[in-house]
Structure 1
Protein backbone atom coordinates (compact mmCIF):
# COMPACT_ATOMS: atom_id res chain seq x y z
CA UNK A 1 0.00 0.00 0.00
CA UNK A 2 1.07 3.61 -0.57
CA UNK A 3 1.97 6.22 2.04
CA UNK A 4 -0.24 8.76 3.71
CA UNK A 5 -2.86 10.96 2.08
CA UNK A 6 -2.90 14.64 3.07
CA UNK A 7 -6.29 16.35 2.69
CA UNK A 8 -6.05 20.13 2.42
CA UNK A 9 -8.97 22.49 2.70
CA UNK A 10 -11.78 23.93 4.72
CA UNK A 11 -13.32 22.89 8.00
CA UNK A 12 -16.94 24.02 8.37
CA UNK A 13 -19.57 23.64 11.04
CA UNK A 14 -22.61 22.52 9.05
CA UNK A 15 -25.90 23.53 10.65
CA UNK A 16 -28.28 20.80 9.47
CA UNK A 17 -32.04 21.43 9.63
CA UNK A 18 -33.92 19.13 12.02
CA UNK A 19 -37.43 18.98 13.36
CA UNK A 20 -37.82 20.17 16.92
CA UNK A 21 -40.63 20.89 19.32
CA UNK A 22 -42.03 24.29 18.47
CA UNK A 23 -40.72 24.40 14.90
CA UNK A 24 -37.57 24.07 12.83
CA UNK A 25 -34.11 23.97 14.36
CA UNK A 26 -30.51 23.41 13.27
CA UNK A 27 -28.08 20.81 14.52
CA UNK A 28 -24.35 21.67 14.28
CA UNK A 29 -22.27 18.94 12.61
CA UNK A 30 -18.60 18.74 11.73
CA UNK A 31 -18.12 19.33 8.00
CA UNK A 32 -16.18 20.92 5.17
CA UNK A 33 -15.31 18.93 2.06
CA UNK A 34 -11.63 18.17 2.67
CA UNK A 35 -12.26 17.70 6.38
CA UNK A 36 -14.99 15.18 5.53
CA UNK A 37 -12.70 13.30 3.13
CA UNK A 38 -9.97 13.13 5.77
CA UNK A 39 -12.28 11.76 8.46
CA UNK A 40 -13.82 9.23 6.09
CA UNK A 41 -10.38 8.01 4.99
CA UNK A 42 -9.27 7.64 8.60
CA UNK A 43 -12.35 5.57 9.39
CA UNK A 44 -11.61 3.37 6.36
CA UNK A 45 -8.16 2.56 7.75
CA UNK A 46 -6.09 4.68 5.35
CA UNK A 47 -3.09 6.58 6.81
CA UNK A 48 -4.37 10.14 6.57
CA UNK A 49 -3.37 13.65 7.60
CA UNK A 50 -5.46 16.80 7.56
CA UNK A 51 -3.96 20.18 6.75
CA UNK A 52 -5.62 23.52 7.42
CA UNK A 53 -6.02 26.11 10.16
CA UNK A 54 -8.89 25.77 12.60
CA UNK A 55 -10.08 28.18 15.22
CA UNK A 56 -9.14 28.22 18.90
CA UNK A 57 -12.86 28.51 19.66
CA UNK A 58 -15.11 25.69 20.89
CA UNK A 59 -15.85 24.57 17.32
CA UNK A 60 -12.13 24.35 16.63
CA UNK A 61 -11.80 22.04 19.62
CA UNK A 62 -14.53 19.87 18.12
CA UNK A 63 -12.72 19.74 14.76
CA UNK A 64 -9.54 18.53 16.45
CA UNK A 65 -11.44 15.96 18.51
CA UNK A 66 -13.27 14.74 15.41
CA UNK A 67 -9.97 14.10 13.63
CA UNK A 68 -8.54 12.25 16.62
CA UNK A 69 -11.65 10.08 16.95
CA UNK A 70 -11.43 9.18 13.24
CA UNK A 71 -7.72 8.34 13.50
CA UNK A 72 -6.55 11.22 11.33
CA UNK A 73 -3.14 12.79 11.91
CA UNK A 74 -2.86 16.48 12.83
CA UNK A 75 0.79 17.18 11.97
CA UNK A 76 -0.28 19.76 9.35
CA UNK A 77 -3.02 21.34 11.46
CA UNK A 78 -2.61 24.78 13.03
CA UNK A 79 -4.83 26.74 15.41
CA UNK A 80 -5.60 30.42 14.81
CA UNK A 81 -7.32 32.92 17.09
CA UNK A 82 -10.06 33.59 14.55
CA UNK A 83 -13.66 32.33 14.22
CA UNK A 84 -14.73 29.04 12.67
CA UNK A 85 -16.56 28.95 9.34
CA UNK A 86 -20.28 28.31 9.74
CA UNK A 87 -22.42 26.85 6.97
CA UNK A 88 -26.21 26.71 7.15
CA UNK A 89 -27.60 23.90 5.01
CA UNK A 90 -30.89 23.85 3.12
CA UNK A 91 -32.29 20.48 2.06
CA UNK A 92 -35.45 21.85 0.42
CA UNK A 93 -34.28 20.95 -3.11
CA UNK A 94 -32.98 17.45 -2.32
CA UNK A 95 -29.35 18.36 -2.97
CA UNK A 96 -27.82 20.40 -0.12
CA UNK A 97 -27.49 24.17 -0.61
CA UNK A 98 -25.23 26.21 1.65
CA UNK A 99 -25.01 29.70 3.11
CA UNK A 100 -21.52 30.29 4.51
CA UNK A 101 -20.50 32.76 7.20
CA UNK A 102 -16.73 32.95 7.01
CA UNK A 103 -15.50 36.53 7.13
CA UNK A 104 -12.07 36.41 8.79
CA UNK A 105 -12.50 32.72 9.59
CA UNK A 106 -9.44 30.65 10.51
CA UNK A 107 -9.64 28.31 7.52
CA UNK A 108 -10.19 31.23 5.13
CA UNK A 109 -7.15 33.25 6.23
CA UNK A 110 -4.86 30.21 6.41
CA UNK A 111 -1.93 30.80 4.02
CA UNK A 112 0.85 28.76 5.67
CA UNK A 113 1.29 25.75 3.35
CA UNK A 114 3.69 22.84 4.00
CA UNK A 115 7.19 22.98 2.55
CA UNK A 116 8.60 20.29 0.28
CA UNK A 117 10.59 18.85 3.18
CA UNK A 118 7.57 18.78 5.47
CA UNK A 119 5.74 16.51 3.02
CA UNK A 120 8.13 13.59 3.46
CA UNK A 121 5.98 10.49 3.96
CA UNK A 122 3.01 11.97 2.09
CA UNK A 123 2.31 10.22 -1.22
CA UNK A 124 -1.02 11.80 -2.20
CA UNK A 125 -2.38 15.33 -1.80
CA UNK A 126 -6.14 15.90 -2.01
CA UNK A 127 -7.63 19.35 -2.78
CA UNK A 128 -11.05 20.79 -3.53
CA UNK A 129 -14.20 22.76 -2.78
CA UNK A 130 -14.56 26.24 -1.28
CA UNK A 131 -10.94 26.28 -0.10
CA UNK A 132 -10.16 27.24 -3.73
CA UNK A 133 -12.74 30.05 -3.79
CA UNK A 134 -12.04 32.02 -0.63
CA UNK A 135 -9.05 34.34 -0.53
CA UNK A 136 -6.38 34.58 0.67
CA UNK A 137 -6.25 30.84 1.33
CA UNK A 138 -7.38 29.95 -2.21
CA UNK A 139 -4.25 31.37 -3.83
CA UNK A 140 -2.05 29.62 -1.27
CA UNK A 141 -3.71 26.27 -1.99
CA UNK A 142 -3.41 26.78 -5.75
CA UNK A 143 0.29 27.62 -5.39
CA UNK A 144 0.88 24.42 -3.41
CA UNK A 145 -1.18 22.37 -5.89
CA UNK A 146 0.81 23.62 -8.89
CA UNK A 147 4.12 23.29 -7.07
CA UNK A 148 3.50 19.61 -6.37
CA UNK A 149 1.71 18.69 -9.63
CA UNK A 150 3.82 16.39 -11.79
CA UNK A 151 6.21 15.68 -8.96
CA UNK A 152 6.63 12.61 -6.78
CA UNK A 153 3.21 12.86 -5.17
CA UNK A 154 -0.17 12.16 -6.71
CA UNK A 155 -2.62 15.04 -6.90
CA UNK A 156 -6.28 14.22 -6.22
CA UNK A 157 -8.87 16.89 -7.00
CA UNK A 158 -12.61 17.25 -6.48
CA UNK A 159 -13.78 20.77 -7.44
CA UNK A 160 -17.00 20.29 -5.41
CA UNK A 161 -18.24 23.62 -6.73
CA UNK A 162 -20.44 25.84 -4.56
CA UNK A 163 -21.58 28.16 -7.33
CA UNK A 164 -23.58 30.44 -5.02
CA UNK A 165 -20.33 31.25 -3.20
CA UNK A 166 -18.45 32.27 -6.37
CA UNK A 167 -18.14 36.05 -6.78
CA UNK A 168 -15.89 36.14 -9.86
CA UNK A 169 -17.00 33.24 -12.07
CA UNK A 170 -14.50 33.83 -14.94
CA UNK A 171 -11.52 33.92 -12.58
CA UNK A 172 -12.75 30.86 -10.70
CA UNK A 173 -13.37 28.89 -13.90
CA UNK A 174 -9.85 29.79 -15.06
CA UNK A 175 -8.43 28.54 -11.77
CA UNK A 176 -10.33 25.27 -12.05
CA UNK A 177 -9.08 24.78 -15.62
CA UNK A 178 -5.47 25.28 -14.47
CA UNK A 179 -5.88 22.72 -11.71
CA UNK A 180 -7.88 20.17 -13.71
CA UNK A 181 -5.17 20.17 -16.38
CA UNK A 182 -2.55 19.19 -13.79
CA UNK A 183 -4.40 16.74 -11.53
CA UNK A 184 -3.74 12.97 -11.54
CA UNK A 185 -7.11 11.90 -10.10
CA UNK A 186 -10.21 13.95 -10.92
CA UNK A 187 -13.56 13.34 -9.30
CA UNK A 188 -16.39 15.67 -10.25
CA UNK A 189 -20.17 15.55 -10.06
CA UNK A 190 -22.20 15.74 -13.24
CA UNK A 191 -23.86 18.92 -11.93
CA UNK A 192 -20.49 20.58 -11.33
CA UNK A 193 -19.26 19.55 -14.77
CA UNK A 194 -22.39 21.05 -16.36
CA UNK A 195 -21.74 24.32 -14.52
CA UNK A 196 -18.11 24.38 -15.60
CA UNK A 197 -18.70 23.29 -19.22
CA UNK A 198 -22.39 23.68 -20.17
CA UNK A 199 -23.38 21.34 -22.97
CA UNK A 200 -20.15 19.33 -22.98
CA UNK A 201 -20.71 15.55 -23.02
CA UNK A 202 -19.34 13.99 -19.87
CA UNK A 203 -17.36 11.29 -21.65
CA UNK A 204 -15.78 13.96 -23.85
CA UNK A 205 -14.75 15.96 -20.78
CA UNK A 206 -13.18 12.82 -19.32
CA UNK A 207 -11.23 12.15 -22.52
CA UNK A 208 -10.02 15.76 -22.58
CA UNK A 209 -8.66 15.57 -19.05
CA UNK A 210 -7.01 12.21 -19.73
CA UNK A 211 -5.37 13.76 -22.79
CA UNK A 212 -3.96 16.51 -20.55
CA UNK A 213 -2.36 13.95 -18.25
CA UNK A 214 -4.99 12.81 -15.76
CA UNK A 215 -4.64 9.14 -14.85
CA UNK A 216 -8.20 8.65 -13.58
CA UNK A 217 -11.40 10.65 -14.12
CA UNK A 218 -14.57 9.85 -12.18
CA UNK A 219 -17.93 11.54 -12.75
CA UNK A 220 -20.78 10.99 -10.29
CA UNK A 221 -24.43 11.13 -11.39
CA UNK A 222 -26.40 10.74 -8.16
CA UNK A 223 -29.16 8.17 -8.62
CA UNK A 224 -27.74 7.29 -12.07
CA UNK A 225 -24.56 5.92 -10.53
CA UNK A 226 -20.94 6.78 -11.25
CA UNK A 227 -18.64 6.39 -14.25
CA UNK A 228 -14.87 6.21 -14.36
CA UNK A 229 -12.24 6.43 -17.08
CA UNK A 230 -8.54 5.61 -16.99
CA UNK A 231 -6.11 5.73 -19.87
CA UNK A 232 -7.11 2.23 -20.97
CA UNK A 233 -10.40 1.33 -19.33
CA UNK A 234 -13.92 2.46 -18.52
CA UNK A 235 -16.39 1.28 -15.87
CA UNK A 236 -19.71 2.18 -14.32
CA UNK A 237 -21.15 1.40 -10.89
CA UNK A 238 -24.83 1.69 -10.06
CA UNK A 239 -26.20 3.72 -7.19
CA UNK A 240 -27.33 1.76 -4.13
CA UNK A 241 -30.85 1.98 -2.79
CA UNK A 242 -30.92 3.10 0.85
CA UNK A 243 -33.26 5.02 3.14
CA UNK A 244 -31.84 8.53 2.81
CA UNK A 245 -31.72 10.83 5.83
CA UNK A 246 -29.79 13.48 3.93
CA UNK A 247 -27.03 13.59 1.31
CA UNK A 248 -24.70 15.99 3.17
CA UNK A 249 -21.14 14.70 2.75
CA UNK A 250 -22.09 11.88 0.40
CA UNK A 251 -19.79 13.11 -2.37
CA UNK A 252 -16.92 13.49 0.08
CA UNK A 253 -17.53 9.98 1.40
CA UNK A 254 -17.49 8.65 -2.16
CA UNK A 255 -14.18 10.46 -2.74
CA UNK A 256 -12.74 8.84 0.36
CA UNK A 257 -14.04 5.42 -0.66
CA UNK A 258 -12.50 5.82 -4.11
CA UNK A 259 -9.09 6.74 -2.67
CA UNK A 260 -9.34 3.99 -0.05
CA UNK A 261 -10.16 1.39 -2.71
CA UNK A 262 -7.18 2.49 -4.77
CA UNK A 263 -4.97 2.47 -1.68
CA UNK A 264 -5.95 -1.10 -0.78
CA UNK A 265 -5.04 -2.23 -4.31
CA UNK A 266 -1.66 -0.43 -4.27
CA UNK A 267 -2.93 1.78 -7.09
CA UNK A 268 -2.09 5.21 -5.67
CA UNK A 269 0.86 5.60 -8.03
CA UNK A 270 0.86 6.99 -11.55
CA UNK A 271 2.14 3.78 -13.15
CA UNK A 272 -0.41 1.56 -11.42
CA UNK A 273 -3.24 3.95 -12.26
CA UNK A 274 -2.23 3.72 -15.91
CA UNK A 275 -2.58 -0.07 -15.72
CA UNK A 276 -5.97 0.00 -13.97
CA UNK A 277 -8.27 -2.44 -15.79
CA UNK A 278 -12.05 -2.24 -16.07
CA UNK A 279 -12.71 -4.81 -13.34
CA UNK A 280 -10.49 -3.09 -10.78
CA UNK A 281 -11.95 0.28 -11.74
CA UNK A 282 -15.48 -1.03 -11.26
CA UNK A 283 -14.54 -2.41 -7.85
CA UNK A 284 -13.18 0.90 -6.54
CA UNK A 285 -16.18 2.80 -7.92
CA UNK A 286 -18.54 0.33 -6.25
CA UNK A 287 -16.63 0.63 -2.97
CA UNK A 288 -17.00 4.40 -3.11
CA UNK A 289 -20.74 3.97 -3.68
CA UNK A 290 -21.03 1.76 -0.61
CA UNK A 291 -19.28 4.32 1.57
CA UNK A 292 -21.42 7.18 0.19
CA UNK A 293 -24.68 5.25 0.57
CA UNK A 294 -23.96 4.54 4.26
CA UNK A 295 -23.35 8.25 4.84
CA UNK A 296 -26.75 9.06 3.32
CA UNK A 297 -28.46 7.00 6.04
CA UNK A 298 -27.11 9.32 8.76
CA UNK A 299 -27.51 12.97 9.68
CA UNK A 300 -24.69 15.13 8.36
CA UNK A 301 -21.31 14.01 7.04
CA UNK A 302 -21.06 11.00 9.36
CA UNK A 303 -19.17 8.48 7.24
CA UNK A 304 -18.99 4.75 8.07
CA UNK A 305 -16.09 2.82 9.55
CA UNK A 306 -14.31 0.14 7.52
CA UNK A 307 -15.82 -2.68 9.58
CA UNK A 308 -19.30 -1.41 8.69
CA UNK A 309 -18.50 -1.56 4.96
CA UNK A 310 -16.90 -5.02 5.14
CA UNK A 311 -19.86 -6.68 6.89
Structure 2
Protein backbone atom coordinates (compact mmCIF):
# COMPACT_ATOMS: atom_id res chain seq x y z
CA UNK A 1 0.00 0.00 0.00
CA UNK A 2 1.62 3.30 -1.06
CA UNK A 3 2.37 5.79 1.69
CA UNK A 4 -0.46 8.27 2.25
CA UNK A 5 0.95 11.76 1.90
CA UNK A 6 -0.65 15.01 3.00
CA UNK A 7 -0.63 17.28 -0.06
CA UNK A 8 -1.49 20.95 -0.26
CA UNK A 9 -2.18 22.20 -3.78
CA UNK A 10 -2.42 25.96 -4.31
CA UNK A 11 -3.99 27.24 -7.48
CA UNK A 12 -6.95 27.92 -9.67
CA UNK A 13 -10.12 26.05 -10.51
CA UNK A 14 -11.46 26.60 -14.04
CA UNK A 15 -14.74 25.54 -15.61
CA UNK A 16 -13.67 23.97 -18.92
CA UNK A 17 -16.39 24.56 -21.52
CA UNK A 18 -15.49 21.87 -24.04
CA UNK A 19 -16.50 22.67 -27.62
CA UNK A 20 -16.57 20.16 -30.47
CA UNK A 21 -17.77 20.95 -34.00
CA UNK A 22 -21.42 19.98 -34.41
CA UNK A 23 -21.91 19.06 -30.74
CA UNK A 24 -23.38 20.92 -27.75
CA UNK A 25 -20.93 22.48 -25.28
CA UNK A 26 -19.99 20.33 -22.27
CA UNK A 27 -18.82 21.83 -18.97
CA UNK A 28 -16.10 19.93 -17.11
CA UNK A 29 -14.49 20.86 -13.78
CA UNK A 30 -10.90 21.85 -14.52
CA UNK A 31 -7.94 24.05 -13.78
CA UNK A 32 -4.46 22.53 -13.68
CA UNK A 33 -3.88 22.69 -9.88
CA UNK A 34 -7.43 21.50 -9.19
CA UNK A 35 -6.89 18.57 -11.55
CA UNK A 36 -3.67 17.63 -9.74
CA UNK A 37 -5.41 17.74 -6.35
CA UNK A 38 -8.23 15.58 -7.71
CA UNK A 39 -5.75 13.11 -9.19
CA UNK A 40 -3.87 12.81 -5.90
CA UNK A 41 -7.09 12.21 -3.94
CA UNK A 42 -8.19 9.52 -6.38
CA UNK A 43 -4.84 7.82 -5.83
CA UNK A 44 -5.47 7.61 -2.10
CA UNK A 45 -3.72 10.69 -0.73
CA UNK A 46 -4.99 13.41 1.57
CA UNK A 47 -5.30 16.41 -0.73
CA UNK A 48 -6.27 19.96 0.20
CA UNK A 49 -6.81 22.56 -2.52
CA UNK A 50 -6.38 26.23 -1.63
CA UNK A 51 -8.22 28.10 -4.35
CA UNK A 52 -10.96 30.56 -5.33
CA UNK A 53 -14.49 29.54 -6.31
CA UNK A 54 -17.28 31.94 -7.13
CA UNK A 55 -20.86 31.73 -5.76
CA UNK A 56 -22.10 30.63 -9.20
CA UNK A 57 -23.18 27.46 -11.00
CA UNK A 58 -19.65 26.72 -12.20
CA UNK A 59 -18.28 27.17 -8.69
CA UNK A 60 -20.89 24.83 -7.22
CA UNK A 61 -20.19 22.25 -9.94
CA UNK A 62 -16.45 22.29 -9.29
CA UNK A 63 -16.79 22.26 -5.49
CA UNK A 64 -19.09 19.22 -5.65
CA UNK A 65 -16.76 17.44 -8.09
CA UNK A 66 -13.73 17.97 -5.85
CA UNK A 67 -15.57 16.99 -2.69
CA UNK A 68 -16.88 13.82 -4.35
CA UNK A 69 -13.30 12.98 -5.32
CA UNK A 70 -12.08 13.37 -1.74
CA UNK A 71 -10.42 16.80 -2.02
CA UNK A 72 -10.72 19.23 0.89
CA UNK A 73 -11.40 22.67 -0.59
CA UNK A 74 -10.24 25.84 1.16
CA UNK A 75 -10.94 29.30 -0.26
CA UNK A 76 -10.29 32.90 0.71
CA UNK A 77 -14.02 33.69 0.44
CA UNK A 78 -13.64 36.12 -2.46
CA UNK A 79 -16.90 36.59 -4.46
CA UNK A 80 -15.21 36.79 -7.89
CA UNK A 81 -16.82 34.66 -10.64
CA UNK A 82 -15.36 31.19 -11.09
CA UNK A 83 -12.75 31.28 -13.88
CA UNK A 84 -13.75 29.63 -17.15
CA UNK A 85 -12.07 28.49 -20.33
CA UNK A 86 -13.55 27.57 -23.70
CA UNK A 87 -11.67 24.42 -24.73
CA UNK A 88 -11.87 23.78 -28.47
CA UNK A 89 -10.87 20.28 -29.61
CA UNK A 90 -9.62 19.46 -33.08
CA UNK A 91 -10.21 16.19 -34.91
CA UNK A 92 -7.38 14.47 -33.02
CA UNK A 93 -8.53 15.59 -29.57
CA UNK A 94 -5.89 18.32 -29.15
CA UNK A 95 -7.09 21.24 -27.09
CA UNK A 96 -6.79 25.02 -27.48
CA UNK A 97 -8.02 27.41 -24.77
CA UNK A 98 -9.66 30.84 -24.51
CA UNK A 99 -9.77 32.07 -20.90
CA UNK A 100 -11.88 34.32 -18.73
CA UNK A 101 -9.87 34.36 -15.51
CA UNK A 102 -9.28 36.57 -12.50
CA UNK A 103 -6.92 35.45 -9.72
CA UNK A 104 -6.89 37.54 -6.56
CA UNK A 105 -6.14 34.90 -3.90
CA UNK A 106 -5.60 36.38 -0.44
CA UNK A 107 -3.83 34.78 2.54
CA UNK A 108 -5.62 31.84 4.18
CA UNK A 109 -4.54 30.38 7.53
CA UNK A 110 -3.67 26.67 7.43
CA UNK A 111 -4.49 24.37 10.31
CA UNK A 112 -1.74 21.84 9.58
CA UNK A 113 1.64 21.58 7.90
CA UNK A 114 1.54 19.62 4.62
CA UNK A 115 4.27 17.19 3.68
CA UNK A 116 4.27 18.37 0.07
CA UNK A 117 3.06 21.53 -1.71
CA UNK A 118 2.21 21.72 -5.40
CA UNK A 119 1.45 24.83 -7.42
CA UNK A 120 1.66 26.16 -10.93
CA UNK A 121 -0.21 27.37 -13.97
CA UNK A 122 -2.15 30.64 -13.86
CA UNK A 123 -2.01 30.91 -10.08
CA UNK A 124 1.76 31.19 -9.84
CA UNK A 125 2.19 33.99 -12.39
CA UNK A 126 -1.04 36.06 -12.37
CA UNK A 127 -1.16 38.99 -9.98
CA UNK A 128 -2.34 39.91 -7.48
CA UNK A 129 -2.91 36.32 -6.36
CA UNK A 130 0.52 35.06 -7.44
CA UNK A 131 2.14 37.05 -4.62
CA UNK A 132 0.06 35.08 -2.10
CA UNK A 133 1.02 31.79 -3.75
CA UNK A 134 4.74 32.51 -3.73
CA UNK A 135 4.66 33.76 -0.14
CA UNK A 136 2.92 30.55 0.94
CA UNK A 137 5.38 28.35 -0.95
CA UNK A 138 8.35 30.22 0.49
CA UNK A 139 7.02 29.88 4.04
CA UNK A 140 6.26 26.15 3.70
CA UNK A 141 9.30 24.91 1.77
CA UNK A 142 11.53 24.23 4.80
CA UNK A 143 9.15 21.59 6.17
CA UNK A 144 7.65 20.45 2.85
CA UNK A 145 8.92 19.55 -0.58
CA UNK A 146 7.62 21.71 -3.44
CA UNK A 147 6.55 20.86 -6.98
CA UNK A 148 5.72 23.24 -9.82
CA UNK A 149 4.20 22.96 -13.29
CA UNK A 150 4.25 26.19 -15.34
CA UNK A 151 1.45 24.86 -17.60
CA UNK A 152 2.02 27.85 -19.88
CA UNK A 153 -1.07 29.61 -21.21
CA UNK A 154 0.33 32.18 -23.69
CA UNK A 155 -2.85 34.28 -23.76
CA UNK A 156 -2.49 34.92 -20.01
CA UNK A 157 1.27 35.25 -19.65
CA UNK A 158 1.64 38.91 -20.61
CA UNK A 159 5.07 40.28 -21.51
CA UNK A 160 7.31 37.38 -22.52
CA UNK A 161 10.45 38.44 -20.66
CA UNK A 162 8.49 39.15 -17.48
CA UNK A 163 6.71 35.80 -17.79
CA UNK A 164 10.01 33.94 -18.13
CA UNK A 165 11.30 35.71 -15.02
CA UNK A 166 8.20 34.73 -13.02
CA UNK A 167 8.42 31.11 -14.14
CA UNK A 168 12.13 30.90 -13.33
CA UNK A 169 11.48 32.30 -9.86
CA UNK A 170 8.99 29.48 -9.23
CA UNK A 171 11.41 26.89 -10.61
CA UNK A 172 14.12 28.05 -8.21
CA UNK A 173 11.79 27.53 -5.22
CA UNK A 174 10.91 23.97 -6.24
CA UNK A 175 12.24 20.46 -5.66
CA UNK A 176 10.33 18.85 -8.55
CA UNK A 177 9.40 20.67 -11.76
CA UNK A 178 7.33 19.29 -14.61
CA UNK A 179 6.94 21.05 -17.96
CA UNK A 180 5.82 20.06 -21.43
CA UNK A 181 8.02 20.53 -24.47
CA UNK A 182 5.41 23.08 -25.64
CA UNK A 183 5.81 25.04 -22.38
CA UNK A 184 9.57 25.13 -22.80
CA UNK A 185 9.34 26.03 -26.50
CA UNK A 186 7.20 29.06 -25.64
CA UNK A 187 9.48 30.14 -22.82
CA UNK A 188 12.71 29.59 -24.80
CA UNK A 189 11.90 29.69 -28.54
CA UNK A 190 14.24 27.73 -30.76
CA UNK A 191 16.04 26.03 -27.88
CA UNK A 192 16.12 22.32 -27.14
CA UNK A 193 13.45 21.75 -24.45
CA UNK A 194 15.49 19.19 -22.54
CA UNK A 195 18.50 21.48 -22.68
CA UNK A 196 16.37 24.24 -21.15
CA UNK A 197 15.30 21.80 -18.42
CA UNK A 198 18.95 21.03 -17.71
CA UNK A 199 19.58 24.73 -17.12
CA UNK A 200 16.63 24.85 -14.75
CA UNK A 201 18.17 21.99 -12.79
CA UNK A 202 21.15 24.19 -11.91
CA UNK A 203 18.89 26.78 -10.22
CA UNK A 204 17.43 24.60 -7.46
CA UNK A 205 15.24 21.61 -8.41
CA UNK A 206 16.29 18.03 -7.71
CA UNK A 207 14.61 16.77 -10.89
CA UNK A 208 12.89 18.29 -13.91
CA UNK A 209 10.35 16.19 -15.80
CA UNK A 210 9.73 17.03 -19.47
CA UNK A 211 6.67 15.61 -21.22
CA UNK A 212 6.81 15.15 -24.99
CA UNK A 213 3.29 14.05 -25.89
CA UNK A 214 3.26 10.84 -27.90
CA UNK A 215 7.05 10.63 -27.74
CA UNK A 216 7.09 9.96 -23.99
CA UNK A 217 8.84 11.82 -21.19
CA UNK A 218 12.32 12.65 -19.92
CA UNK A 219 13.58 13.15 -16.38
CA UNK A 220 16.57 15.46 -16.11
CA UNK A 221 18.89 14.65 -13.19
CA UNK A 222 22.27 15.95 -12.09
CA UNK A 223 23.90 12.78 -13.48
CA UNK A 224 22.03 12.63 -16.78
CA UNK A 225 18.65 11.78 -18.26
CA UNK A 226 16.09 8.99 -17.84
CA UNK A 227 13.52 8.47 -20.60
CA UNK A 228 10.32 6.47 -21.07
CA UNK A 229 8.02 6.12 -24.04
CA UNK A 230 4.35 7.03 -24.01
CA UNK A 231 1.96 4.20 -23.23
CA UNK A 232 -0.37 3.25 -26.07
CA UNK A 233 -3.79 4.84 -25.72
CA UNK A 234 -6.78 5.56 -27.92
CA UNK A 235 -6.98 9.33 -27.48
CA UNK A 236 -10.39 10.85 -26.81
CA UNK A 237 -8.94 14.22 -25.80
CA UNK A 238 -5.82 15.56 -24.10
CA UNK A 239 -7.61 17.70 -21.50
CA UNK A 240 -5.90 17.19 -18.12
CA UNK A 241 -3.26 14.78 -19.45
CA UNK A 242 -0.34 16.81 -18.10
CA UNK A 243 -2.05 17.18 -14.73
CA UNK A 244 -2.61 13.42 -14.52
CA UNK A 245 1.07 12.95 -15.36
CA UNK A 246 1.93 15.27 -12.46
CA UNK A 247 -0.32 13.53 -9.93
CA UNK A 248 0.97 10.13 -11.06
CA UNK A 249 4.57 11.28 -10.62
CA UNK A 250 3.90 12.67 -7.13
CA UNK A 251 2.08 9.46 -6.18
CA UNK A 252 5.14 7.42 -7.16
CA UNK A 253 7.56 9.78 -5.41
CA UNK A 254 5.48 9.50 -2.23
CA UNK A 255 5.56 5.69 -2.42
CA UNK A 256 9.36 5.86 -2.72
CA UNK A 257 9.63 8.07 0.40
CA UNK A 258 11.02 11.00 -1.61
CA UNK A 259 8.60 13.70 -0.49
CA UNK A 260 8.48 15.84 2.63
CA UNK A 261 11.39 17.25 4.57
CA UNK A 262 12.46 13.74 5.58
CA UNK A 263 12.44 12.58 1.96
CA UNK A 264 14.31 15.51 0.44
CA UNK A 265 17.73 13.88 0.77
CA UNK A 266 16.53 10.78 -1.13
CA UNK A 267 14.95 13.03 -3.74
CA UNK A 268 18.26 14.85 -4.19
CA UNK A 269 20.15 11.62 -4.95
CA UNK A 270 17.64 9.27 -6.59
CA UNK A 271 18.49 5.92 -8.13
CA UNK A 272 17.92 5.95 -11.88
CA UNK A 273 15.62 2.91 -11.74
CA UNK A 274 13.48 4.70 -9.15
CA UNK A 275 13.18 7.71 -11.47
CA UNK A 276 12.20 5.37 -14.30
CA UNK A 277 9.46 3.98 -12.06
CA UNK A 278 8.21 7.51 -11.37
CA UNK A 279 8.06 8.25 -15.11
CA UNK A 280 6.20 5.01 -15.83
CA UNK A 281 3.57 5.78 -13.18
CA UNK A 282 3.19 9.30 -14.56
CA UNK A 283 2.91 8.11 -18.17
CA UNK A 284 0.35 5.45 -17.21
CA UNK A 285 -1.74 8.04 -15.36
CA UNK A 286 -1.72 10.30 -18.43
CA UNK A 287 -2.61 7.39 -20.73
CA UNK A 288 -5.73 6.59 -18.71
CA UNK A 289 -6.78 10.23 -18.80
CA UNK A 290 -6.43 10.80 -22.55
CA UNK A 291 -8.54 7.71 -23.23
CA UNK A 292 -11.67 9.36 -21.78
CA UNK A 293 -13.32 12.75 -21.99
CA UNK A 294 -12.23 15.64 -19.80
CA UNK A 295 -9.75 15.78 -16.93
CA UNK A 296 -10.64 12.38 -15.47
CA UNK A 297 -7.55 10.89 -13.77
CA UNK A 298 -7.24 7.25 -12.67
CA UNK A 299 -7.81 5.76 -9.26
CA UNK A 300 -5.30 3.31 -7.79
CA UNK A 301 -6.83 0.22 -9.42
CA UNK A 302 -6.96 1.88 -12.85
CA UNK A 303 -3.36 3.02 -12.53
CA UNK A 304 -2.20 -0.49 -11.60
CA UNK A 305 -4.10 -1.89 -14.58
CA UNK A 306 -2.54 0.65 -16.94
CA UNK A 307 0.94 -0.15 -15.63
CA UNK A 308 0.25 -3.84 -16.21
CA UNK A 309 -0.78 -3.21 -19.82
CA UNK A 310 2.26 -1.01 -20.41
Tell me, yes or no, whether TM beats 0.5: yes
The alpha-carbon deviation at position 119 of structure 1 amounts to: 6.1
* Number of aligned residue pairs: 299
The alpha-carbon deviation at position 233 of structure 1 amounts to: 5.4
Within the candidate set 120, 125, 132, 2:124 is matched to 132
- Kept in 2, the 8 Å contact 1:60–1:84? The answer is yes
- Kept in 2, the 8 Å contact 1:232–1:277? The answer is no
1:25-40 residue pairs with structure 2 within 5 A?
Answer: 25-40=24-39
Q: Deviations over 1:41-100 (max 9, x none)?
A: 1001122111112112222222221122111123x3344333111110112385321111
Query: Which residue is equivalent to 1:84?
Result: 82
> Quick one: distance in 1 between partners of 2:244 and 2:106?
26
The alpha-carbon deviation at position 199 of structure 1 amounts to: 3.0
Query: Which residue is equivalent to 2:308?
Result: none
> Quick one: distance in 1 between partners of 2:158 and 2:148?
21
- Kept in 1, the 8 Å contact 2:58–2:82? The answer is yes
Q: CA RMSD in A?
A: 1.9
1:295 aligns with 2:289: yes
The alpha-carbon deviation at position 18 of structure 1 amounts to: 3.9
Query: Which residue is equivalent to 2:245?
Result: 254
1:1-311 residue pairs with structure 2 within 5 A?
Answer: 1=3, 3-18=5-20, 23-74=22-73, 76-92=74-90, 95-102=94-101, 105=102, 108-114=103-109, 118=110, 120-149=112-141, 151-232=142-223, 234-268=225-259, 269-311=263-305
Structure 1, gaps ≥5 residues long: none
> Quick one: distance in 1 between partners of 2:18 and 2:58?
15
Of the structure 1 ranges 267-276 and 85-94, higher mean CA displacement relative to structure 2 is found in 85-94
- Kept in 2, the 8 Å contact 1:55–1:81? The answer is yes
- Kept in 2, the 8 Å contact 1:161–1:192? The answer is yes
| TM-score normalised per structure 2 | 0.90
The alpha-carbon deviation at position 25 of structure 1 amounts to: 2.0
> Quick one: distance in 2 between partners of 1:299 and 1:279?
32
SS of residue paired to 2:208 = strand
